[in-house]
Amino acid sequence: MTDKKQITSGLSWNTLTVVLQVVIQIAYTGLLARLVSKDSFMLMGIVLGIMGFAEIFSQVGVGPALIQRKEVHQQHINGAFYTAVILGLSFTLLFIGFAPVIANWYELQELKPIIAVVCSSFTISALAVVPRSMMMKNMRFKTMFKASMVSIIGGNLIVGLTLAYLGWNVWAYVWALFAQNLLMTLALWYYEPVKLSLNWQWSYTRELIRYGAGSTLFNAMNYLATKLDVLIIPRVMRGQMPELLPDQKASASYYERANYAMTQPITVMGKLSDSVLFSGMSKLQDDQTKLKKLLMLATSALAIILIPATAFMFFFADELVTIWLTEAYSETAVILRILFVAVIFRSLSKLGDSLLRAKDAVFKGAWFKAIYVLMIAGGIWYTVPMGMNSVAVAIVAATFIHYVMNMFICSQLVGINAGQLFRALVPALLLGIITLVTSWSVNMLCEFMQLNKYFSLIAGIGANGIALLLSIRLFPAILGNNDVNPLLHLPERLLKNKFVAGILKR
């Protein structure tokens, strides 16, 4: 299979995997919102933020190093496995010991037992590093789809919802996460049984750690920028008070839910870039021309989805939040409407992140990520007293500046310039304007006719779908030229679709 076909096939399967994961996760958390307390989301937001950040360091980047290497020997596999397991177990024991300290810092004693259970993920995930990495390196994303579905259905839908229904509250969330991690590890070893031996030579491991250290620093700054707001808002809100007031807990929970919804599209892009794009760009790392074309095409395709979606969210966030979380979380919609603008820039930055990692420029990228983290921290510290809407505006501003910095590094790596990037974004901007006008018209009409929220949402989805498809059908040039037109790069079976073929013919 050629590199292009392999990347296209991998992208198709991994997109299906990630989209289904996100859809199931959103449905799962929507049901949880009806079965557990609001505080549960704030507590798990804090724990998952801390655990996710620490997990990056717990594996020192040996997984990405396996993917990035052109040649992988048995000694690399042995070194990656034993290093990850030793560090994973060490981090589990470390966080069991530090759970009381973290709980005292937040003045939330209920965090202590939660952390003690959730930190087991360090060891469980470490056991899966090698099979996961080799599966991604070989671009076996159809198999990854099977493993992912086993874990998310078994962990979230079966364990999580059953325990939530039985009244376990936040512990339903905790044990669902534990079950999901365990099932994923077992499934990965079942589908990708990697051969191991007891022979472990440090020289091979050192080769992985050299790249892994930069990848770890890069990923740590990237993750911290994504989770920092959820981690420090409860602490900044508390200030010098002994504990958070009930209305402060509610505000933190509203923001956490808005942040969660905002990060779902970013999660999709992050997983695609961490797997398909990173693997594909690693294979093409010495071909500047192909890397540049891939970056341009991915920018155009992603923006075509995100910019119209953001325009739609501006008018219909209230309806979506009500359906997802019930009206008790209505304040989440206002925050989400602002935060969703950051989705565009964070997701597009993921493309640059894949390029930096494939070209082994992770140390340089880490410095820009550190600046991004500082901007977010400063923005949160300054805006929390003004309310969660102001915090959301600060996050959007910092994210835009980071995107500009990210593209600056990419321009040095593959020779792309601002004019070329803007041309790749033009199709999405045009479709965004169409969505904006259509959504405004539907919204005004529904208000005039005094229709309920659910009908307004259905009408908005239908009207925008028709408007966008009709625009593409009548004006095919709206999707750009050959280099950035995503329709021209679809799998062959989709190119034969009557609608697609009709557009290309025009």
pLDDT category, 136, cuts 50, 70, 90? confident
Average pLDDT, the chain: 82
CA atoms of 439 and 239, how far apart (whole Å): 41
CA atoms of 61 and 82, how far apart (whole Å): 13
pLDDT in tens, 432-446: 999 999 999 998 898
* DSSP letter (8 states) at residue 387: -
Q: How far is CA 229 from CA 13, 385, 391, in A?
A: 32, 14, 8
* Collapsed DSSP state (helix, strand, coil) of residue 372: helix
pTM of the model: 0.69
Residue-wise DSSP of 256-307: HHHHHHHHHHHHHHHHHIIIIIHHHHHHTTT-HHHHHHHHHHHHHHHHHHHH
User: Is pLDDT above 70 for 392?
Assistant: yes
pLDDT category, 154, cuts 50, 70, 90? very high
pLDDT category, 502, cuts 50, 70, 90? low
User: Is pLDDT above 80 for 301?
Assistant: yes
- The whole-number pLDDT of residue 49 equals 78
Which 3-state string (H, E, C) describes 175-187? HHHHHHHHHHHHH
| Residue from 494, 485, 503 nearest 293 by CA | 485
182 or 60, which is more confident? 182
Question: Which of 326-330, 385-389, 393-397, 421-425 has maximum average pLDDT?
Answer: 393-397
435 or 140, which is more confident? 435
- In a 10 Å sphere around its CB, with 0-12 CB exposed, 13-18 middle and 19+ buried, how is residue 139 labelled? buried
Q: How many CB atoms lie within 10 A of CB 158?
A: 13
User: Is pLDDT above 70 for 262?
Assistant: yes
Label residues 242-263 b or e (16+ Cβ within 10 Å = b).
eebeeebbbbbbbbbbbbbbbb
Q: H helices within 59-197, ranges in order?
A: 62-68, 74-106, 111-118, 121-127, 129-137, 141-152, 161-165, 170-191
- The whole-number pLDDT of residue 429 equals 93
CA atoms of 376 and 231, how far apart (whole Å): 12
User: Is pLDDT above 90 for 394?
Assistant: yes
- The whole-number pLDDT of residue 4 equals 56
pLDDT in tens, 6-41: 555 656 666 677 778 778 888 888 888 888 887 888
CA atoms of 346 and 341, how far apart (whole Å): 9
- The whole-number pLDDT of residue 357 equals 76
User: Is pLDDT above 60 for 303?
Assistant: yes
If you average pLDDT over residues 79-84, what whole number do you get? 89
